[in-house]
Structure 1
Amino acid sequence: MTSQQVAYMEQSRAPLVQGVMWTMSIVPLFFVCGRLYVRVFLKRVFGWDDFIIIVAICLLIAYAAVCHAATQVGLGRHLIVVEENPNNLISVALLCDIGEVLAIMACTLGKTSFAVTLMRIVVKRWMKILLWFVIITMNLVNILTAFFVFLQCKDPRHLWNPTIPSKCWPADVFTNYSLFVGAYSGAQDFVLALLPWTIVWNLQMKKKEKFGVAFAMSLGVFAGAAAIVKTTYLVALSAKADFTWELAPLLYWAAVEDGLAITAASIPALKPLLVRMFPSSPGDSYNMISYPPKPRGRNVFDPSQGETQTDIRQGSLRDMGSQTAIIEPQTPGKESENINLRTEVSVRYTQSP
């Protein structure tokens, strides 16, 4: 055996897979924990977007664990090496199929959480319609993809153990559908990243503040870029000539996309935490995510989609809405200069006993 052959046999992408997988799981986990600290302990509210992001990060960690286990039995090595032990080859194929489903659902839920968060702040009807369209279609195509992973063959066991006979779809059917889903997922990332700019740019605040808020809300564009890169690896994988080696980049780029999507969905909620950590920073006068007033002594589930409610009790006016959270505080006598967003509210009077 020549030195080149030895070097080929010893090549391994396993350390890279493990490093990327755990990095792109642990970093988003810190952001999700920070988000939950703000929501539960600082604001004492908990919404559907928070629940969805928790499920997403759990799926991402499970994905990293499954792929780590796959590297222990041959993922990231050349097929000629792994097939020396047929049982390892079967284990790699099975674990990668399971990991693929976990990655698909983690990515879908991460983006869904951000879309639900945006529903809190949008005020225009076409934006709400667009967000619902993104949420529904994104979940539909990705859930179908997750099912198709195991439905390609009449007997799913054939997918990881070719010795079991089964009738399967033509190889290019699932590959072409996956290419479509990858491209569509990337397009949705860009839609969700650009939508905050249309919301923020017409608000009355300094341009520097507008840019900062809009940029923080549009970090999902990096997840879109990762989705494009991931999709390119599907073409190379379709041949399946050396799948244990060629599958590695596809899997860790999927982890990058998932991690960036979950991180981008969590960052906008961290502003109150940053204000507490750095008191000298500007006040929290332009939070993009609205929070109802913090109830005393208990947490509440907050399923709101940005409604505005106003209560008048004992002569006090209390605002619970989202639109005013993105407008600068009014200066007495200059209301006409500071308000550029008009919202109709319903007023409920409660007479004290």
Structure 2
Amino acid sequence: MASEDRSPELYASTIFGLAIATVTVALRCYVRLFMLKVFSWEDYLAVITMIIFGVYGACVLMAIQYGAGRHILDVPAEWLPHALKMRWLGEWIYVVTSILVKITVAVLLLRICSKPWHKSVTYATLAVVVVWNTVYAFLAAFQCFPVQHFWERLGDPNGGQCLNEDIITGSTYAAAAVNCLADWILGLLPIALVWNLELNRRTKASVAGILALGIIASAATIVRIPFVWQLTHDSDFLYVFVDFTTWSTTELAMGLAASSIATLRPLFKRVLGGSSGNVSHKGRAPTGGPGQQPIAPRTGSPGLRAW
């Protein structure tokens, strides 16, 4: 039998997601600032995305304070508008954060792309994500008219109107499908990026694996899809909405963490004392004979060498 109060579960998943994202972004900043001594605009974007994700987490935590995770009959009536307002704001911030996470990953890939078709696929994927999620963000923000009717409807059901629930659920399913497809494309593309590089097999596998961590976020997106119906569940929305919120938080946290972990290879190499990723040319060592200059590694991608 399900617990009558799921707020501790929602609280724990939110704090865990915020912690994972915060730690990985902080490590990214350390690597970029103190190890590589470079902080590009995509790193600023990652920090901004983390801040916005923090605002999303604050909305969820405030919603918990107003009864999220509990049955509606167990919550004081005056708390309900506040809980709905936090839910409305959280839905909108979720979409914005999702867009920024995809942009952060795409910019990293564009920096290391070596072939025109790599960039074309990345730009096309990013364009679809941004366009559709912008439309979805508009629907999330203005699903009721006037906007405040979203959280005031329980006290004044005739004071406004909201979009048909089929539009809300349908657009959410479509957004989930687009985001999931984008995660897989941006996650599998790194394999193509390193496939023909003259790296040794171990280094090639590690580079592709680290860059492809974005696929992890798609798992949360897929798990989240069966709970989309909770968006339009009105009879006990505080209690029922927990699953959808939990997996939305997990999706954002894993996506943000993956985009930052992909920049931590210098830290992994220092901590683990791994190889430097020298290139192997048909079984020959990457250095010349006695008295000769070392043979420079040829990765075919200046961006990958820098990364």
Do the structures match in fold with TM over 0.5?
Answer: yes
Are positions 1:32 and 2:25 aligned together?
Answer: yes
Unaligned regions of 5+ residues in structure 1, if any? 1-6, 287-327, 344-353
Are positions 1:202 and 2:193 aligned together?
Answer: no
8 Å CA contact retained: 1:237, 1:247: yes
Paired residue total: 292
Structure-1 separation of matches of 2:84 and 2:238: 8
Higher helix proportion, which one? 2
1:284 offset after TM fit, Å?
A: 5.5
Paired residues for 1:1-353 under 5 Å: 11-82=4-75, 85-162=76-153, 163=156, 165-278=159-272, 280-283=273-276, 285=278, 330-332=286-288, 339=298, 341=300
The alignment partner of 2:145 has SS state of coil
Letter of the aligned partner of 2:32 in structure 1?
R
The alignment partner of 1:227 has SS state of helix
8 Å CA contact retained: 1:330, 1:339: no
TM-score, normalised to structure 2, is 0.87
The alignment partner of 1:45 has SS state of coil
8 Å CA contact retained: 1:110, 1:261: yes
1:340 offset after TM fit, Å?
A: 7.2
TM-score, normalised to structure 1, is 0.76
CA distances 1:297-325 after superposition (whole Å, capped 9, x unpaired): xxxxxxxxxxxxxxxxxxxxxxxxxxxxx
Structure-1 separation of matches of 2:99 and 2:213: 16
8 Å CA contact retained: 1:223, 1:257: yes
Tell me: CA distance 1:201–1:159, structure 2 relative to 1, closer, same or farther (3 Å).
same
Structure-2 separation of matches of 1:245 and 1:178: 20
Structure-2 separation of matches of 1:150 and 1:79: 24
Tell me: CA distance 1:126–1:207, structure 2 relative to 1, closer, same or farther (3 Å).
same
8 Å CA contact retained: 2:113, 2:301: no
8 Å CA contact retained: 1:331, 1:338: no
Structure-2 separation of matches of 1:105 and 1:269: 22
Structure-2 separation of matches of 1:47 and 1:137: 25
Tell me: CA distance 1:201–1:169, structure 2 relative to 1, closer, same or farther (3 Å).
same
